[in-house]
């Protein structure tokens, strides 16, 4: 264990892939997000859609997990979940949230803050209908965040649901759907040598995005 502690404490990575200046970025943060996302896709980064979602409970306790970005347009970012899950209940009670994308191959990170609301019923239905049959069954089967007596309990429920719902008849459960983050803050991080990273942020002032550099 001591060797592991020493190993972790000595890990170092010097970032040398690029730079980020105020003159480099688009005046529109969403356009800048799309640019970096496209570059990440073109670089064939694994799990490029994975984002770290942070919520806060009414007791001011933070909670974080990885979810998948599924839709995005003009400062909005959508993902899907069980509305009875811990994260959904936290987000619907306290809508302040943050998402983070980290692409180590590009030495880049994007932080986005905003508020959460449900997507429309039509949007949730449309996304659910595009999912594979097994994923649709999974949405019905999992009482997300609730206790299970065993793995077998979940597997038995899946088999029961497969008998109840056929691929051509299964519809979205009312307790499952989309959540959308509406952005009010962006930060673009480019790793630099000696931990002197570039951090360019966008803040809204009178409905105008202001570009600022902050210290690493």
pLDDT per residue as tens, the chain (216 positions): 778 888 888 877 777 788 999 998 999 999 999 999 999 999 999 999 999 999 998 899 999 999 999 999 999 999 999 999 999 999 999 999 999 999 999 999 999 999 999 999 999 999 999 999 999 999 999 988 888 899 999 999 999 999 999 999 999 999 999 999 999 999 999 999 998 999 999 999 988 999 999 999
Q: How far apart are CA 190 and CA 187, in angstroms?
A: 10
Which pLDDT belongs to residue 10? 81
Q: Is residue 140 part of a domain?
A: no
Q: Is residue 7 part of a domain?
A: no
Residues 113 and 75 sit within 8 Å (Cβ to Cβ): no
Show which residues are catalytic: 195
Which pLDDT belongs to residue 9? 81
For residue 80, which of 135, 36, 40 has the smallest C-alpha distance?
A: 135
pTM for the model: 0.92
Q: Is residue 179 part of a domain?
A: yes
Give the N- to C-terminal CA distance of the chain in Å, as an integer: 32
Q: Is residue 37 part of a domain?
A: yes
Q: Domain residues for 59?
A: 15-131+173-213
Q: Is residue 148 part of a domain?
A: no
Which pLDDT belongs to residue 202? 98
Structurally, the chain folds into a number of domains equal to 1
Q: Is residue 9 part of a domain?
A: no
Which pLDDT belongs to residue 13? 78
Q: Is residue 80 part of a domain?
A: yes
The CATH number of whichever domain residue 45 belongs to comes to: 2.30.110.10
Alpha-carbon torsion angle 79, 83, 86, 92, nearest 10: 80
Q: How far apart are CA 188 and CA 186, in angstroms?
A: 7
Q: Is residue 153 part of a domain?
A: no
């Amino acid at each position: 264990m001591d060797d592991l502690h020493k190993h972790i404490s000595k890990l170092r990575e010097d970032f040398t892939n690029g730079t980020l200046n105020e003159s480099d970025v688009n005046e529109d943060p969403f356009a800048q997000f799309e640019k970096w996302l496209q570059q990440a896709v073109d670089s064939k980064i694994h799990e490029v859609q994975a984002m770290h979602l942070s919520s806060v409970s009414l007791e001011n306790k933070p909670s974080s997990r990885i979810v998948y970005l599924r839709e995005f347009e003009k400062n909005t970012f959508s993902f899907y979940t069980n509305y009875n899950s811990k994260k959904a209940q936290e987000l619907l009670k306290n809508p302040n949230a943050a998402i983070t994308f980290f692409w180590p191959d590009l030495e880049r990170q994007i932080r986005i803050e905003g508020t959460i609301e449900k997507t429309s019923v039509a949007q949730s239905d449309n996304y659910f209908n595009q999912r594979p049959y097994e994923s649709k069954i999974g949405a019905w089967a999992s009482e997300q965040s609730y206790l299970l007596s065993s793995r077998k309990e979940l597997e038995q429920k899946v088999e029961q649901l497969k008998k109840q719902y056929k691929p051509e008849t299964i519809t979205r459960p009312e307790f499952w759907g989309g959540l959308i983050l509406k952005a009010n803050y962006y930060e673009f991080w480019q790793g630099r040598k000696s931990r002197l990273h570039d951090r360019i942020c966008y803040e809204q002032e009178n409905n105008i995005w202001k570009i600022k550099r902050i210290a690493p």
